Chain A
Amino acid sequence: MKVLMKGNEAISEAAIQAGCTAFFGYPITPQNEIPEYMSAKMEKAGGVFIQAESEVGAINMVYGAAAAGVRTMTTSSSPGIALKQEGISYLCGANLPCVIANVARCGPGLGGILPGQSDYFQATRGGGNGDYYTPVYAPATVQEAWDMVFESFDIADKYRTPVQILLDGMLGQMMEPVEMKVHPRLNIDKPWATNGNADKRPRNTITSLSLFGEVLEAMNLQRFKVYEEIEKNETAVENTVKEGDTVAIVAYGAPSRIVRNAIDELRAEGINAALIRPITLWPYPYDTFQDLPKSVKHILVAELSMGQMVEDVRLGVNGKYPVHFYGRTGGVVFEPGEIANKVREIMGKPAKPLASGQKQMTDSNLKGGI
């Protein structure tokens, strides 16, 4: 049986079902339903809910709970995630597993509460100090958000790393029917946990510090060996491009669904466009762009940003195809017609009027022109 849920509610309940027993949050729109849900349900589920003094406090509570060996999560939205970067860097440095969901809004600064995808760099490039990555999952539906929470906790435990779930405010607020399937949990011993059991084993210490260059370098090399494993095993992408398709449109998250509508529109008029949807943003499915059918002539990247993921696409394409970009920011969401018109422009076909009455962005606009 399916249940109608908001994306934010799905993430909350899935976390509880995945065995998260310690949630630390702080109010920020548009993720408020998550701490609200957790405040009502966590204690009954035998877990802990704390509304922290700040996002910084919350991520450091996660650091403590993760060190104690329990499944733990925090959620926030863009400026709040910016505040958590210190903690995420420490979590990576100390190899502590946890899940962090970013129900993204617009920026920079306070920006606005409308949905955005301009936290791509923050999520995939490591927003804090030092050499590190975190796996980043990008759900496109509420159902996928539900399922990814289970996967994220497993991946976090398996590789001893924080995992981020990056969605936008649209998906966080959207209601969709969800099959509340409880996925089997990966049970991994945590003999390294600082949980006060030094009577049963040698004492444990957790730190990201080393004052000796060779030691710290060895710690970093070891972490990157783990990253290599993650890249090999966990890279995920939905690639619908087939022989005969001429334009591949790359989009992730909820906006990829708008792109699907654009693709339907284009195919109806004889332009063979198809979707490439990265499911993990780190590790990024670079190889996909080297193995496309010979018929592909153009790549278009569509994002709710000034163009961030487009850099990863260019890395994957490595000069093989022209890479075009279309984006909206500030919380303005592109309609299917805008994406379709961009493809028409690439293919030398005339544009069609937009249903929404929104203005079509030009390349010049997206480079700062009016």
Chain B
Amino acid sequence: MPNPNNEATRRVVYEKSRGLTDTPLTYCPGCTHGTINKLIAETLVELDVLEKSIAIAPVGCSVLAYEFFNCDAIQAAHGRAPAVATGIKRAEPSKVVFTYQGDGDLASIGTAEIIHAAHRGENITVIFVNNAIYGMTGGQMAPTTLVDQKTSTSPFGRAEATTGKPILVSEMMATIPSATYIERVSAHDVPHITKTKRAIKKAFENQINGKGFSMVEVLAGCPVGWNLSPVDSMKFIAETMIPYFPLGVYKDEGVAV
């Protein structure tokens, strides 16, 4: 029987990925950005492309992501990350280029850039974090804010009559003929985190294999912006967000599913 205190027989089951730097994450307690950051970091290490990767950080809560990913990184103007990624990827086609964008960044100010990066079939990977709110600026209403959800600019709840219904980004992106892979996942519990990582991995493998534009939409929690505890935020994703934002593969290998 092995000695339980024998260091030689000990095995690390889980540790912080070397795909992340030592810089402490600046996100609020329980923010899903940290979870998604590490899934990307782990994926880049597992695919052995960390050193040849270039991250594009957005404006928003993850504006400092260029300090977190342990690879070359660049900070882009609000919404413009897909255009910046296009410039880098076309200049350095053998490198792995990805954008990391929130819903204010991608689904509001950056709609033109994301749609046209997909429309051109840019061989890049986009990780789209949908937490239904502008977190960094103080919890304002986003295009993905749910109807009746209270935010600092929809204090009585999002009114459908004047602000419409939440935009369904994955469904919309799947209609773009040159997009290769579009999937919506969630990071609210460990089984879903495992599925999220699988989707992220596929999105990067597509790029490495030259298959073109891949986007993974990850449903995420904003406990501070939502005025919920981190644990209740995860429940909110499961019970309220997922019914409106159905999980699944919306397009694969250029074929809508």
The interface of chain A, by Cβ under 8 A from chain B, is: 21-22, 24, 48, 50, 52-54, 56-58, 60-70, 72, 86-87, 90, 94, 194-199, 203-209
Contact = CB atoms under 8 A, between A and B. Distances in A.
Contact of B83 (A48, A57, A68, A206): A57
User: Chain B interface residue count: which class?
Assistant: 35 or more
A67 B87 contact: yes
B255 interface: no
A52 B74 contact: no
Contacts of B115: 53
B92 A68 contact: yes
Contacts of B89: 64
B98 to A, nearest CB: 11
B63 A63 contact: no
Given A57-B116, A68-B91, A203 B83 contact: no
Contacts of B112: 53-54, 56-57
Contact of A198 (B56, B57, B71, B84): B71
Interface string B84-97: 11111111101111
Nearest to A208: B75
Interface in B47-92: 50-54, 56-57, 63-64, 66-67, 70-77, 80, 83-92
List 7 A-B pairs, minimum CB-CB distance, nearest first: A64-B87, A196-B95, A60-B83, A53-B116, A199-B51, A61-B87, A207-B75
B205 interface: no
B91 A48 contact: yes
Contacts, number: 141
A66 B87 contact: yes
B171 interface: no
Contacts of B91: 21-22, 48, 64-65, 68-70, 72, 195
B51 A196 contact: yes
Contact of B90 (A48, A60, A94): A48
A194 B73 contact: yes
A196 B54 contact: yes
19 contacts: A24-B87, A53-B112, A53-B115, A56-B113, A57-B86, A60-B84, A61-B83, A65-B87, A65-B90, A72-B91, A194-B72, A195-B72, A195-B88, A196-B53, A198-B52, A199-B51, A203-B70, A205-B74, A207-B66
Contacts of B86: 50, 57, 61, 64
Contacts of B70: 203
Contacts of B66: 205-207
A205 B54 contact: no
Nearest to B67: A205
A196 B87 contact: no
